[in-house]
Amino acid sequence: MSHPLPPLQWDVFCRVIDNFGDIGVCWRLVAQLAARGHRVRLWVDDASALQWMAPTGCPGVELRAWGSPPPGPDEPAPDVMVEAFGCDITPEFIAHSAYVSGARGQKSQKPVWINLEYLSAESYVERHHKLSSLLSSGPGAGWTRWFFYPGFTPGTGGLLREPALMAWRAAFDHGAWRAKHASAFGLGDGGPEQRWVSLFCYEPAALPELLRHCQAQPTQLLVTPGRPTAAVQAALAEGGTQTMSQIGRLRLSDQRGQLSISYVPHRPQTAFDEMLWACDFNAVRGEDSLVRALWAGQALVWQIYPQHDNAHHDKLWAFLDWLQAPASLRQFHATWNGLDTAPLQWPSDDTLAEWTACIQAARARLLTQDNLVAQLLGFVAEKR
């Protein structure tokens, strides 16, 4: 960052669309801003996931319900306004900010207005990153809104990453974590040959096939709550290993051949990260968990958020191109995301090692770039 910033008032706006992804990204963003000494108000239409995602909150971060009245006269006016993922800041808040800015006089600084976009590896990201849009009407007429794109290359805004994240990762004892998990779920020691797999997905058509593969070799499957758990239950029932009447009476763990299944509870973001670190293979979905799986440095498959016009297909191929994914990993992604009907090829030990090496090489490239918050702070310093 070329210019130091004093503590600023940030107002971040989030509308929850994809269950946990939007609020997950926004919470990591505001927590990292607060850790750097900034004040943050997070305006969100559904904060329910934060009850388990961030149960202790974060000093310096204040939650506001979407549509609540703008800040009062005794509260700080915004220095930076961030609308996440193209959500529109309420006209009342913009009008309030314009009024406060005008009341301060001609020498006052308008808030830096940032539209934080979705993550993509597609080529348009570098072209559009940091472009501006002049508002011609409404209460913010004459103000500039800047488009800020996260991304995987130096020409983008980078990815969310705490400054000490790699040190935390290096100090993590995955053996102790696995032993503690096995004890909590009443599981035996699966031995060094047992694969640990985490599952955070939508409803991939290839899920029953994955479960059959896992039953044929020692596997510990950690299934996250909500749609992943429902999808696994449905797949087991469809395969004749569980009756539909049993669905809903979920046990903490289950055994199918050589597959041990643990239905894990909702967990805070830091604990979710540790689960990714502890596993040999992570099935993730959406944006936030993909980024955290990349930092974990373990083999992964990404189920991309499906779009009705299949625009997610190009987005997935662009990511795999950037990843420099080997052919086997590209094919696994294609099948997992329903882009074709080829059989799901569960990786051998050698193939899994190749996938892990691919992710770690990609992580090494990412670590040469500034993280997203550092880049945001530098950008705001330039515009103020």
Name the residues annotated as catalytic.
22, 287
Helix (H) / strand (E) element for 27: namely helix 21-35
Measured distance CA(113)–CA(82) in Å, rounded: 6
34: number of Cβ within 10 Å: 20
User: Alpha-carbon distance 164 to 202, whole Å?
Assistant: 31
Indicate the DSSP class of residue 215: H
Return the H-helix or E-strand segment holding 96.
helix 91-103
Burial 46-82 (b: 16+ CB within 10 A, else e): ebebbeebbeeebebbebbeeeeebbeeeeebbbbbb
CA 370 to chain CA centroid, nearest Å? 18
Question: How many whole angstroms separate alpha carbon 235 and alpha carbon 323?
Answer: 30
Q: What are phi and psi of 35, to 5 degrees?
A: -65, -20
Cβ atoms of 236 and 256 closer than 8 Å? yes
Q: Outline where 138-283 has alpha helix (H).
A: 165-171, 174-184, 207-215, 227-238, 269-278
Q: Decide if 187 contacts 155 (C-beta within 8 A).
A: no
Q: Residue 72's Cα: distance from chain center in Å?
A: 33
- Distance CA(210)–CA(315), nearest Å, equals 24
The end-to-end CA distance of the chain, in Å, is 14
Q: DSSP code of 200?
A: -
